Chain A
């Protein structure tokens, strides 16, 4: 859970129909964003529901950097007002859907950034972004050897030699 700090209500201006949220990244950068934009995040929506019980506005402190947070906001801004099936909590889990072209370009980032984005999306409960990142990561490792997978995703081989050749793991046909 992030730490939530109270903000004096009088200092927060209302602009248009959407209220403003103050998000604070782990590197202490303050990012003000319209609530509408972040409504795709179930985590933020739940936080905001909690705010409504009080008259105070709040800032939400998040455990990832402003660089990552800005990318997530960019994604949410792009799809502002769009219905995405993956984000509908009442919809059945989507099957295999085509890759959205914009998502492909958006996620054309280095490995570390991609991993940070998917973790942030997971934390913020943005299912559509998690899905797109997961597909991008799957594309990175598809058809690769185990050694290449370790290298691509920075995973350490922690098997003992016996475990590595365990018969229970061999089901690749």
Chain B
């Protein structure tokens, strides 16, 4: 029930006009109060201040998740992993600080960008649980010439990446290992492997 008039009168009190009055019957009286306006600084702060950090993090999180999703499903995307969402760090100082200093934005670490950026991402996640995305790409693609060459097996999971993973095992929550699409593999590291499972019976993080 909505009183469309939006005007209520009470004897002896000033008339209060309301732009929208909800859930009141036609004969209902609105309580009359001495309204203390919000302090001007509160109103001004809401309108003029920089965007609250928590909200920026929520917005950036949507961008980064979409990035990851797109790059997971797009054909050959695993070869060209980028952090497109991080362009927000070039908008202004606040956005850059939020993008870099918010650990929740760095919880998906993709080794496809190389160990240097994997290290940066793992550090920015601080101690939060992380998901590691590691694609086993048995070929290297020269973007300039479109040349495709097979990689040596030790280049597929370089020592530096293994060391990095070992250093951050304490906060690795999920380890997603992904092979290349079938038919695009020159020398697959595990020809017949299509799934693997790691179980730790009886183990809980707090036991």
Contacts and interface: CB of A to CB of B under 8 A. Distances in A.
Contacts, number: 170
B38 to A, nearest CB: 5
A59 interface: yes
B142 interface: no
Nearest to B104: A93
Given A5-B35, A138-B63, A131 B58 contact: yes
B88 to A, nearest CB: 7
Contacts of B58: 130-131, 134
B92 A150 contact: yes
Interface stretch (A40-48, A101-109, A165-173): A165-173
B31 A159 contact: no
B133 to A, nearest CB: 14
A126 interface: no
B31 A142 contact: no
Q: Main SS of the interface on chain A?
A: mixed
B201 interface: no
Interface stretch (B77-85, B155-163, B173-181, B186-194): B77-85
Q: Determine which residue in A30, A34, A116, A143 has the highest number of CB atoms from chain B within 10 A of its CB, and name it.
A: A30
Interface stretch (B14-22, B146-154, B164-172): B14-22
B19 A66 contact: yes
* Range of interface residues on A (Cβ < 8 Å): 35 or more
Interface string A18-31: 10101010101111
B46 A119 contact: yes
A4 B52 CA distance: 24
B38 A32 contact: no
Contacts of A168: 100
Q: List the 7 shortest-distance A-B pairs measured between CB atoms, nearest first.
A: A173-B82, A138-B62, A134-B58, A11-B31, A63-B42, A146-B90, A7-B31
Interface of B: 10, 16-25, 28-39, 42-43, 45-47, 51-52, 54-55, 58-63, 65-66, 69, 80-84, 86-93, 95-96, 100, 113, 117, 120
